[in-house]
A and B are shown apart, each in its own frame.
Chain A
C-alpha cells in the first residue's frame, strides 16, 4: 500500500472500510492509522455521511402477487384461453361456423324459449283489445 493506491481506494470506494476490497482492506486501514487527517479521506467522509442516510422504500405487497399472476396462469385463465382457442378453431371452415354458432346460440335459445310459451286464445284476444284501444285513442287525439 502506498499513498497513491490509498487515495485511489478512497476516490473509488469512499471512506468506509467495509466498502474497500477485502484483499487491500487491512493494509489500507494500517495506512489510515498513520495518516488519519488525509484530506481526500475527510472529503470522502462527508459525502459518505450523506449517502448513508438514503432509505429505499419497500416493494408494495401487491407486486409479489402481480408477478406470480403473470408467471403462473390461473385455472380460470387457462379455461378462458381454451374457450377462445376452441371458438376460433384451426381450419377456415371452423373460423366460420364456430363464431357463427356462438353468435347464433342466443338467437336459437330465444326462439326455443318463445316456442315454449305459446300465447293462448285469451291472451291474443286481450292483445287485440289493447291494440284497438290504443289505435282508437291515437285517432281521437288526432281529431282534437
Chain B
C-alpha cells in the first residue's frame, strides 16, 4: 500500500493500516529516537508517543505537504524536544548509556566498546546539532527535508551540521577508535 493510501486508511480509523505503517516506519523512527535519547526505555516511550500522535492527528497530513517520512520525523523530533525540555534538570549518566548499549548489542567486546563510544560521542552534541546530524546522516533525509523537520532554512541547517561535525572532531581525535 502506498503512503497516501495508508494514511487515507488511518484517517478513516483503520487499525490494520496503522499496524502496517508501524511495520514500515517503526525501525527507522525508533533508530532516530534511540540515537537522540541514548537509552531504550525513553526511546520506547517516545516512539509510542510519536505513533499515538500520528493516529490522533492523521487528518493533518496531506500529500502536497511533503513525504510521509518527513512528517513522521517532525512529530518524533517534537516529541524528543518536549522530552528534553521536561527533563532539562536530569543529568544523563553516560556510564548508564554505555550499559544499555552493551545490553542491546550481542557482538564482540570491540564492537560493544565501539557502539558505546559512538553513542557517547553523539550525546555530547547539543540536541539540535544532534538532530540535524542524525536526520542527514542516518535517517537518509535530503537537506531540504531535514531543514523542514527542524523548521530551518537549508543554509541554517548546513551551519548546524558543520557545527556538529566540528564539535565531534576533538572528541573523535582523542579517542582510540
Contact = CB atoms under 8 A, between A and B. Distances in A.
Contacts of A59: 26-27, 30, 44, 47
Contacts of B47: 59, 63, 67
A21 B172 contact: no
B136 A13 contact: yes
B35 interface: yes
Contacts of A11: 161-162, 165-166
Interface stretch (A45-53, A94-102, A120-128, A136-144): A45-53
Contacts of B27: 58-59
B19 interface: yes
A54 B35 CA distance: 10
Given A50-B172, A63-B48, A57 B165 contact: no
Interface in A8-58: 8, 11-14, 19, 21-22, 43-44, 46-47, 50-51, 53-58
A66 interface: yes
Interface stretch (B65-73, B74-82, B89-97, B137-145): B137-145
Given A47-B168, A56-B35, A66 B137 contact: no
A39 to B, nearest CB: 13
A76 interface: no
A67 B162 CA distance: 37
Contact of B18 (A50, A53, A71): A71
Contacts of A72: 15
Q: Among the interface residues B26, B105, B122, which one has the most CB atoms of the partner chain A within 10 A?
A: B26
B105 A57 contact: yes
A113 interface: no
Chain A interface size range: 20 to 34
Contact of A51 (B26, B118, B142): B118
A111 interface: no
Nearest to B19: A68
Given A56-B34, A59-B44, A8 B172 contact: no
Contact of B162 (A12, A53, A55, A71): A12
22 contacts: A11-B165, A12-B159, A12-B165, A22-B142, A47-B168, A47-B172, A50-B121, A53-B118, A56-B30, A56-B35, A57-B31, A57-B34, A59-B26, A59-B44, A59-B47, A63-B47, A67-B22, A67-B47, A68-B15, A68-B19, A70-B52, A72-B15
Given A14-B137, A64-B22, A71-B15, 11 more contacts: A12-B162, A21-B143, A43-B169, A51-B118, A59-B47, A60-B44, A64-B23, A66-B48, A67-B51, A67-B52, A71-B52
